[in-house]
Amino acid sequence: MTTIDDRLRQVRARIASACARHGRDPAEVHLLAVSKTWGPDAVWQAWQAGQREFGENYVQEGVEKISALRALGASDLVWHFIGPLQSNKTRAVAEHFDWVHGIDRFKIAQRLSEQRPPGLGPLQVCIQVNLDGGANKAGVPAAEALALAQQVAALPRLQLRGLMCIPEPAPNFAAACRVFGQLAALRGQLQAPLSGLALDTLSMGMSDDLEAAIASGSTLLRVGSAIFGPRAYASGKEK
């Protein structure tokens, strides 16, 4: 039976191999284990295997898991909230998480800034960009990313770190690289001297396309099923 420890080793081997092929320094590519729908026991197993950064998509589930892992003694974890965030859930995220990857509206960033407890360090945030242009997909259009980034960067108790994307699955490696390359190019544009922005993070790449993401400059991979196994979603899952 394949364990979480085994899967983590396999994912880390994939990352190391892709970095070697594409001339990347493995130290620049961080692995985020996306533990949504998996219980505290699975996170505990990954923690015991050396994993320290975890991603959650559901606020209530994530907060409960954070508390459970702290009670177990795993107090050195870094928790990332991924994807769209509703206004009525920003306080819980501001109070419990270390990162937010799905900023696509200034209102959400403003609420997180206002609700971040002064005793905690700045909340690390990424702006989500809609690269596919789909009307029903979360993320700011690329043409509006600079204006939003400058607004977010000016807020107190937040630290703007970079950009993230969740594109549609690509049919092959080259197609995935083209999409990821758009986000890398956008970060380069946003870091132009006149923008005043310093962005060190590209949150892109998941279980099926992490090699293409590494080839395109990803610094933060969001990997779930390759670590924890296939997910079984409950109907009516809270987001």
DSSP readout, 145-186? HHHHHHHHHTSTTEEEEEEE--PPPPSSHHHHHHHHHHHHHH
Confidence check: pLDDT of 190 > 50: yes
Q: What's the mean pLDDT in 104-123?
A: 97
Identify whether the C-beta of residue 221 lies closer than 8 Å to the C-beta of residue 15.
yes
Residue (of 162, 198, 214, 181) closest to 29 by Cα position: 214
Distances (CA, A) of 178 to 124, 139, 182, 215: 27, 18, 7, 10
C-alpha 191/C-alpha 174 separation (Å) is 25
CATH number listed for the domain at residues 4-228? 3.20.20.10
Range with lowest mean pLDDT among 12-21, 48-57, 118-127, 186-195: 186-195
What the block records as the tokens of 208 is: 């099926």
Look at residue 83 in the predicted model and tell me its pLDDT: 79
Confidence check: pLDDT of 196 > 90: no
SS3 203: strand
C-alpha 198/C-alpha 188 separation (Å) is 10
Tens digits of residue pLDDT in 29-83? 999 999 999 999 999 999 999 999 999 999 999 999 999 999 999 989 999 999 7
pTM of the model: 0.94
Look at residue 236 in the predicted model and tell me its pLDDT: 47
Confidence check: pLDDT of 134 > 70: no
Look at residue 239 in the predicted model and tell me its pLDDT: 37
- Residue 84 pLDDT class (50, 70, 90 cuts): confident
Look at residue 233 in the predicted model and tell me its pLDDT: 59
Identify whether the C-beta of residue 83 lies closer than 8 Å to the C-beta of residue 166.
yes
Higher-scoring residue by pLDDT: 195, 121 = 121
The rounded percent of the chain whose pLDDT value lies above 90 is: 87
The DSSP secondary-structure symbol of 143 reads G
Look at residue 103 in the predicted model and tell me its pLDDT: 96
Long-range contacts of 139-143 (CB under 8 A, 24+ apart): 139/104, 139/165, 139/166, 140/104, 140/105, 142/182, 142/186
- Residue 193 pLDDT class (50, 70, 90 cuts): confident
DSSP readout, 18-87? HHHHTT--GGG-EEEEE-TT--HHHHHHHHHTT--EEEES-HHHHHHHHHHHHHTT-TT-EEEE-S---G
Q: Within 13 Å, how many C-alpha atoms sit on residue 108's CB side? A: 25
Range with lowest mean pLDDT among 21-35, 54-68, 108-122, 124-138: 124-138
Look at residue 135 in the predicted model and tell me its pLDDT: 61
The ranges assigned to domains in the chain are: 4-228
To the nearest 10 degrees (0 to 180), the angle between helices 40-48 and 59-71 is: 50
